[in-house]
Every structure is written in structure tokens, then in C-alpha cells.
Structure 1
Amino acid sequence: MSALYTRRATENALVNDQLRRDVDSMVDQVRTDPSRLPGTSILEAWTFSQRTSYKIPLAWQKLPTGVHDISETSPDGKATHYKLAVRRSDDILGFIRYDASREELTSRRINAILLLSVVLFTILSFAIGASSASRVISPVLELAQRLRGAHSEKNEPLAPSFADDEVGELATALDSYATRLTQLTERDKAFNADVSHELRTPLTIISSTAELMLGAPELTPKSRERLLRIRRAVSQCTELTETLLLLSRSERAPPDNGVLTNVTQVARQVVEIHRETLSNKPVEMLLIEDAQPDVFMPATVLSVALNNLIGNACRYTQTGTITVRITADGVRVEDSGPGLSVPPEQLFARGVRGVETGKGAGLGLAIVKRLCDLYGWQVSLASREEGGTVAELLYSDRDRARTSRY
């Protein structure tokens, strides 16, 4: 619409200007020579007979009948452009010249105005679009900012802060979702507290009873050995309960009184426990201590992780050697068992076992992986070239940094 209006307005202005000039020129001609017929500068016409054809301009003499576009230089040195209509007959030659400079001027003006219109409308469209987008996006940005700044301790509803529109509907849905999550979290916390209380109570009773029985003077060596096994099993259950509760809350727990845990001491205890399970197998368990590292991790968590890695080696190794090596960077467990039957990355999923023996639920390595993710450690499994499996537990940089300060 803008282009059409611009073209019509420009053409009308140019036509009106040309008509005013022509009528002024015509009046001046009549005043100068009343006998001369009035004419217009837009269209000029000439007719020639065969006798007067020599008067035809040289550039026109060979033009055939039709309309021709001609560009030439006038005597005063100016470039001119015009259209020339030619009609040739046996006795009359007719020429009509139309000045096309006005048409070119119209085209240039229209192009300039259209270019300016495009620029102005682009700027206007950008301004309107930016303003509209700002009004539309600002509530969404405010909602995102409120969500980023939301804390579980201060769970204020979002919907009252927004209008009753699409963003308000989204805020209402988020409030409902947050309420359901809060209720679910509270139920989980209550369940964890109940489980912790209900499991720790019988474990404490068993442990205290075993301690009392171990103090009896008439206890036989075989009974004492069995009571010691019961006490170690109770200790394992207590450690596992605390670790699983940490996993259920997905939070790190520092060691008691900020004391670092000695990896070698924990590994010795775990190795001694599992040596008993190898009493009926021709398997030798070796503990190699290349270092005495301390790490910032609860002893219970480290014990559960090593229990699963060493326990898997004991479970699947029927003959040969199991080597537990303590280094400054981690713990390495190598066995001479059957190796891995599935890709290592799949073994840390729940319910996946490395060897299809029908034993175990396939949860031990999944627990180890979750503990490592929680504390920033790395755990890996691989098959040995000479047969068997190697499991490696590497400390995090944060734990090593804290250890170096101590």
C-alpha cells in the first residue's frame, strides 16, 4: 500500500509539474509568434515526404517502423533519453518523440522513497517487535528468576505474583508440582528416619549381646569365633544402613569430628572379613600397601564401597589370587576369576551381573557408583589380559587436596 501510494503521488506531482511547464511555454510561444501552432515539450512530431527526407536527422534515417529507445548526447553536452515512434509509408515518413527523462526521474524518486520506506518500516517493525517481545518474555523471565531463587526452606507460591494468563497458568502448575514434590520429600524423610531407627535398634541389641557373651570366661574358642563373626556382620549392617540413608538423602556426610579416614585401615578390616569367605576355596588374598593415604570420607562409606568390590572378587573367583593394592591415588582390586561377560559401563546399572552365576541381585556395583558420584570419586572395571577382572577406585582431587594439607 505504501509503494502504490508513493508511486501514484510521485507520478501525479511530476505530471502536474510538466503540465504547468508546458502551458507556460505555450503561452510564451503565442506571445512571441502568434502564427505558430502551440505545442508541448513532452511529445514532438515531424512528418517528411520523399522530397524532404534529407531533413531527417542522420540517426533516424535508417530506423524501421516501430518504437525505439534512443540515448544520445545533446549539443550542449547533456545525456538525453527518449522514445521514438517511426512510421514509414510510400509517401509519408512520420516521427513522434517522447521525452523519457521524466519517467526516469519518477523511477529514481520512487526507488529512493521505497528504500527509505523499507528502512523506516524495518526500524519501526524491530522497535514494535522488541517492545512486544519484552512484554511477553518479561513474565517468563521473572518466573525463571523466582524458580532459580526458590529454596526449600521458603516455599512461597508463584501464582499470586503473575496475571491470570498463560504464564499465570504455568506458575499455578509449578506450584502444584512443587507441593507434590514437597510432600514426597517429607514422606521420604520420614521413611528414612523410621528405617534408621527401626534398623539401628535391633543391630545395637545384637551388638551389645555379642559383646556381653564375648566376656564370658567359659566361652569356647569356636563359640568365640562365631561371636566375632556376628559382631563383624553387625558392624557391616550398621555401616551399610548409614550409607544407604546417605544415598537416599543424596548428601555427603563428613567424618566424625572432622578426622580423615585412613584407607589402609579400612581396607585391612574388609580384607580380613572376606578372607573367611575364601576358607573353602583354593584362593589366596593379598593386601599390598604402597601408601598410607587419608581421605575426607566417612569410614562407613569407604567400607561399603570396598566391601562390594572385594566381595565381587571373592564371589566370582574360584581359584587363583585376589590382590588388593593401596596406592596414593586409590584402591585397585585384581582377581583371577572368569572376567566380564558384559561391557563394563553396563555393570553399574541396577540388576546387571558380570557373570551369569545366578548369585546376587546386581545391586552392589550400582551402590558403589552412586557413592562415587556423591563424593566425586571414580570407579572403573575392566578385564585383565591374563584372565580375571580389575576394579579401581580413585580418590577425587578435592579429597587429595585436603589430604595434602593434613
Structure 2
Amino acid sequence: MPATESSKPRRHRRFRRRLRTRIILSFVLLGFGLTLLLAFSANWVRNRVEEDLVVDAINQNISEYQRRYVESGGRERDLRVQTMRAYAFAPDKFAQLKVDQPEWYELPNGIHTVSGTDQDGSPFSYWLAVQKTPEAWFFIAYDKTESVKAKSKFNNALVGVVVVFTAISLLIGWWSASRVMSPVSELAARLRAYRGSSNPRPLAPHFPQDEVGELAKALDDYSGRLTEVVQRDREFNADVSHELRTPLAIIRGSVELMLSRPDMDEKTRTRIQRIQRAEQQCTDLISALLLLSRNERGHGNTDVARVVDQLLDAHRATLGGKPLVLRVEGEGGVTVDSPEAALSVALGNLIGNAVKYTKEGEVVVRLLPDAVEVIDSGPGLSKEDAARLFERGYRGTHAGHSQGGGIGLSIVSRLCALYGWQVGVRPGEPKGVVATLRFTPDRGAPSDEPGGMPSRAPEDADAR
């Protein structure tokens, strides 16, 4: 299960609308929705009122026509009553009506809508009031052609109103968003202007006592507390670095004096050399942590092969009777632009982790043109370890009761982020782990390690 040489997982960014866009969109949707609702309501009311008026007029006219028909003794059979066409058919005309107007003949009493096309293909539509009595059948037709045309024009006008008011809502939303977002944009611009400043000026005096002003006050308060914390952290790091370097320098001087004595026995010399290596390790770790705390990239021209040889010599002296072989493969000559302390801490954690968890066999440090591989024959790693090794404080399944707080790999990953290196691991063949520290990211070649997370912790992380 390979793992990519990347110190952080890739995060997929979500598309998020800007606040200004959301304000404008809200105005547009509100204007469009209200205008559309108003247009729908107006059209419904118009149709309902028109229909009620027409139906009422038709009912009155057909009753009036029936009255006139009776008073005239059946002489008024086809006439106009208030712009409507009225017809009356005596019983002897029913058969003829069935032939001429079969659709009228079948209709019951009431008001009906009749539509279709005439002989020349022109569409027609009209309301037809029907009132059938034993004496005669009465019909009143009301032509809807003009009403349909008027309704079409009215609907077109409503569409235009919706479009116009939506455009007006867009303009109002644009103007309102500009007014609303202007102080927010100014606040963001002032914050960007303070980027990198160790003493940012207060923001609240530049804004009125409104929501943005409250936000500026909160940012000023947060900035003040953050500046105080950063200042305390810097002072603490400087004090710790100074106070620790002094006793370490004394230890170094004393060790050098003791090692210069020719009459010292070999056992004592070995112990003093171990103290010397521990002092050097503490000095390198302090320098690396100080660089991380300041987020400061130190420079240098460090020989990678020389650092590897020093680290392997230091670990050989601590093996005791452990059946483990430490060796180097590859050619030297690779240098990196970093202090020796930073490279020593990064490689020392990887090599120390391999030595610690490999009970027997060998640990091989392979020098490549742009990377260093640490290959061991240990027990390997689990899927959970592979996914969580970069979590600060995580101790893997092989850590057991060993010492360590689970921060070693976190320090390595932070150093890699500071210097642009890449660290990752993959399972070895047939067992063990291959940890890789790459100094020049290879952007062209595909990685053979999926997952975006390294899968191996250094010694201090106790990841196995």
C-alpha cells in the first residue's frame, strides 16, 4: 500500500458565492417573485371579474329576450340585445336546429363555451347561454374573439412588467450591495494592508458604530491578544534557546576536554562520546525548533552524505548487541540549502525510527540525486498508522510502552513545509518500510504513493 510523498492531504475547494453576489441575487429573486405573484394575481382577478360580468349580462339578457319573445307573440326570434346575438326557436324548428346546429341542440340549460374554426379556417370562440322551455328554446351568443385578443395583450403587458421590475430589482440590489459591502471591503483592504506588520494599527476608529464597527473592534481585540501571544512565544523561544545553549556549550567544552585526555580507558571514552552525541542532538533540535517557531528559513550548504554518515555512526554506537546492520548506498555530492541542524533533525528522526523498530536485519540509507531513502526490514505499518502518522501526538500500533509523545513526525513535516521538501513512506518488499525525504519535488513524474499522507513516523513519534 504505497503512500504519496506529501506532507498534507489535498483539499477540494468548494465554490462559494461572494456576499455581494448573494445580496444582488436576493433582490433579484425577491423582485421577480413579487412581480410574478402580482402579475398572476392581476390576471386571475381580471379573468374572474370579466367572466362574472359576462355571465351576469348573459343571464339578464336571455331572461329579457324570453320576456320580449313572449310579449311579441313569438315574432322576435333573432335580434341583438346589448351587443349580444339572441336566437329563439319554436318547437316546429327543433328538427331544423338539430341539423343546422347539432352542438347547440345537445347543450343543456346554462352557459357554455363554444370554440372551433369556421369554413375559411379562422378560429372562433364564444359563450353560449341556453334556456330551453316547452314554448321555445332561447340562445344568446357572446363573441369572445375580442376578449381573447385583449387578454393576450394584457398577458404580454404583464410579462413586460415582470421583466422591467426584475431589472429594476437588479439595479436596486446592485446599488444596495455596493452600499452595504463598501465598509466591509474597506475593512478587508485595511486588514490586507497590515499583512506582515508586527504592530498593526487599530481598525475601529475608521468605521462608524454599526455592525462593521463592532466587527472592527472584535478584530482589534483579537489582533491585540494574538500579538501578545506571539510576542510571549517569541520571548519564550529566545529565552529557552539562550538558556539552553549556555549549559550545552559548557557540556560540549567539558566533553572535549575529557576526550583529550590520553589516559582515559575505552569504556569511559565510549560513554563520554555518547554524551557528546546527545549534546549535539539537543543543539540541532533547539536550532530547528527555533527556526520553526520564527517561521524562518535558514540557509546553508549542507552535504547530505556527511550528515547521513554522522547519524549512522551515532546509531551504531547505541546498538549494543542488537543484530542490526546500518549501511549507506549510493554516491554522495548532494547538497541542500539549509542549516545542518534542520537536515540532521529530519533525517535523524527517520533513521532513528527505523533503527528503533527493526529488531534484526538491516537499515539501508540510499542516497539519490534529489532524495534520501531510509529502508528497514522491520514489521511494517498498519492502515491506521498510514492514515494518521502526521497527526500531532499520535502513537502508532507498534509504539507499545516505548517512550515518546508522538511529535517527532510532526516536527519533520513542519520542517518539510518550511523548506519545501517532501516526506512520505511506503511498504517495503517483502516487509519493512521505505521512508523518503525528497529535496526537489518532482512535479512531472507520477507519484507511486497514493493517499496524500506519509505512512511512517520517526523515532520520537513512536508510530509502531
TM range (shorter): 0.7 to 0.9
Alpha-carbon shift at residue 174 of structure 1 (Å): 1.4
Alignment counterpart, residue 191 of structure 2, candidates 117, 142, 147:
147
Alpha-carbon shift at residue 49 of structure 1 (Å): 3.8
2:417 is the counterpart of 1:373: yes
1:164-179 equivalences in 2 (<5 Å):
164-179=209-224
Alpha-carbon shift at residue 60 of structure 1 (Å): 3.6
Structure 2 alignment gaps of length 5 or more: 1-37, 55-75, 443-464
Alignment counterpart, residue 125 of structure 1, candidates 169, 172, 177:
169
Question: Retained in 1: the 8 A contact 2:90–2:136?
Answer: yes
**CA distance 1:196–1:99, shift in 2 (3 Å):** same
Alignment counterpart, residue 189 of structure 1, candidates 209, 234, 254:
234
User: 1:277 aligns to what SS in structure 2?
Assistant: coil
Alpha-carbon shift at residue 352 of structure 1 (Å): 0.9
**CA distance 1:43–1:235, shift in 2 (3 Å):** same
2:105 is the counterpart of 1:63: yes
- Determine the structure 2 residue equivalent to 1:346: 388
User: 1:44 aligns to what SS in structure 2?
Assistant: strand
Q: Which has the higher contact order (CA 8 A, sep 6+)?
A: 2
Alpha-carbon shift at residue 118 of structure 1 (Å): 1.4
- Determine the structure 1 residue equivalent to 2:303: 262
Question: Retained in 1: the 8 A contact 2:388–2:394?
Answer: no
2:291 is the counterpart of 1:246: yes
Letter in 2 for 1:310: I
TM-score (structure 2 length as normaliser) = 0.69
Mapped to 2, the partners of 1:51 and 1:220 lie a distance apart of 148
Letter in 2 for 1:389: V
Mapped to 2, the partners of 1:75 and 1:288 lie a distance apart of 102
Letter in 2 for 1:159: A
**CA distance 1:74–1:275, shift in 2 (3 Å):** closer
Question: Retained in 2: the 8 A contact 1:281–1:319?
Answer: yes
- Determine the structure 1 residue equivalent to 2:434: 390
**CA distance 1:82–1:215, shift in 2 (3 Å):** closer
- Determine the structure 2 residue equivalent to 1:320: 361
- Determine the structure 1 residue equivalent to 2:6: none
Question: Retained in 2: the 8 A contact 1:332–1:393?
Answer: yes
Structure 1 alignment gaps of length 5 or more: 16-35, 399-406
Question: Retained in 2: the 8 A contact 1:313–1:322?
Answer: yes
Per-residue CA deviations over 1:335-382 (Å, capped at 9, x if unaligned) read 233333552333333241452342221333332222222222222234
- Determine the structure 1 residue equivalent to 2:154: 110
Question: Retained in 1: the 8 A contact 2:329–2:365?
Answer: yes
Letter in 2 for 1:299: E
Mapped to 2, the partners of 1:239 and 1:48 lie a distance apart of 118
Alpha-carbon shift at residue 277 of structure 1 (Å): 0.6
Mapped to 1, the partners of 2:281 and 2:144 lie a distance apart of 104
- Determine the structure 2 residue equivalent to 1:206: 251
Alpha-carbon shift at residue 284 of structure 1 (Å): 1.9
CA RMSD of aligned residues (A): 3.4
2:181 is the counterpart of 1:137: yes
1:215-234 equivalences in 2 (<5 Å):
215-216=260-261, 218-220=263-265, 223-234=268-279
Alignment counterpart, residue 305 of structure 1, candidates 334, 340, 346:
346
Mapped to 1, the partners of 2:403 and 2:221 lie a distance apart of 41
Letter in 2 for 1:244: L
Alpha-carbon shift at residue 272 of structure 1 (Å): 0.9
1:75-86 equivalences in 2 (<5 Å):
80-86=124-130
2:407 is the counterpart of 1:363: yes
Alpha-carbon shift at residue 133 of structure 1 (Å): 2.5
Alpha-carbon shift at residue 268 of structure 1 (Å): 0.8
**CA distance 1:58–1:242, shift in 2 (3 Å):** same
Moved more, 384-393 or 264-273: 384-393
2:206 is the counterpart of 1:161: yes
- Determine the structure 2 residue equivalent to 1:404: none
- Determine the structure 1 residue equivalent to 2:323: 282
Letter in 2 for 1:355: H
User: 1:280 aligns to what SS in structure 2?
Assistant: coil
TM-score (structure 1 length as normaliser) = 0.78
Letter in 1 for 2:255: A
Per-residue CA deviations over 1:9-60 (Å, capped at 9, x if unaligned) read x97xxx9xxxxxxxxxxxxxxxxxxxx9x96561233444456779979634
User: 2:233 aligns to what SS in structure 1?
Assistant: helix
User: 2:317 aligns to what SS in structure 1?
Assistant: helix
Alpha-carbon shift at residue 320 of structure 1 (Å): 2.2
Letter in 2 for 1:197: H
Mapped to 2, the partners of 1:69 and 1:337 lie a distance apart of 92
Mapped to 1, the partners of 2:427 and 2:115 lie a distance apart of 89
Q: Radius of gyration: which is bigger?
A: 1
Alpha-carbon shift at residue 97 of structure 1 (Å): 2.9
Question: Retained in 2: the 8 A contact 1:196–1:241?
Answer: yes
Mapped to 2, the partners of 1:74 and 1:268 lie a distance apart of 106
User: 1:370 aligns to what SS in structure 2?
Assistant: helix
Mapped to 1, the partners of 2:122 and 2:380 lie a distance apart of 97
- Determine the structure 2 residue equivalent to 1:98: 142
User: 1:156 aligns to what SS in structure 2?
Assistant: coil
Letter in 1 for 2:219: L
Moved more, 65-74 or 149-158: 65-74
2:374 is the counterpart of 1:333: yes
Mapped to 1, the partners of 2:352 and 2:318 lie a distance apart of 9
User: 2:128 aligns to what SS in structure 1?
Assistant: strand
Letter in 2 for 1:125: S
**CA distance 1:56–1:182, shift in 2 (3 Å):** same
